[in-house]
Amino acid sequence: MSSAEEKDFGTADANITRYAIETFHPEDAALQEIRIRAKKADLPPIHVGPMDALHLEVLTRMTGAKKVVEIGTLAGLSGLCFLRALPADGRLYTFEYEEKHAKVARETFSKSGFDERYEIFVGEAIKNLPQIEKHGPFDLVFIDADKASYPDYLDWAAKNLKIGGVVLGDNTFAWGEIWKTSFDNPRQALPVNALREFNSRLANDSRFRATILPTGEGLTVGVKVSN
């Protein structure tokens, strides 16, 4: 392994995954319980994976973030990772379309004692985001809701992040299809093209320096470097 071409980007080796989980033990009982409770409430099992949950907590601690915006709450699994990373005077603003999901997330945050440290906004995120602009600029924006809207969420983040603030996008390998430019099934085109636009805009916008981390599902990370 010497040339760049020989170094694969990420690994799909199940032994490496098992090793990482055994060594870094990403999920404690509280995080595991969320997956079970969400399943009982009939929510889709599309939370971030165990290692990604840990990545979110560690990345948030690295930034020293106090004000985090999350788009796509689901059952609050990723939200709990942000809350754990925030200082006592930190705040999580999280956006969720489905009241049924928000209800499960409120239980999640309450069980871990974070009642006073978050706000959930129920409805279309793009319509509700303006309500928090008065609390900005923000330190970190995590995008994990409807894939077609990622470019719009990026526009919002670019305007409402502080310089030095971070935007994170989940699922940016598009289930392995991010490299595709033509599609057998036209229904795949919309989310994949939106994720491609999200990545290429972050890569080319002079306001950001960005990379794509080869996590299980692809995690795009951009730092705002200028207005």
Q: Where are the beta strands (DSSP E) in 108-225?
A: 118-122, 138-143, 161-170, 208-213, 219-224
Given candidates 60, 90, 91, 96, which one binds ligand SAH under the rule CB under 6 A? 96
Q: How many CA atoms lie within 13 A of 187 on its CB side?
A: 0
Is there binding between residue 144 and ligand SAH (CB under 6 A)?
yes
Binding mask 150-189 for ligand DHB (x = CB under 6 A): --------------------xx------------------
Given candidates 171, 172, 199, 215, which one binds Mg ion under the rule CB under 5 A? 171
Closest residue to ligand DHB using C-beta atoms: 46
Cβ within 8 Å of residue 163, ≥6 positions away:
224, 225, 226, 227
Q: Which of residues 24-53 bind ligand DHB (CB under 6 A)?
A: 46
Task: Give the amino acid at 101.
Answer: H
User: Closer to ligand SAH at the Cβ: 70 or 139?
Assistant: 70
CB atoms closer than 10 angstroms to residue 23: 8
Given candidates 60, 170, 192, 221, which one binds Mg ion under the rule CB under 5 A? 170
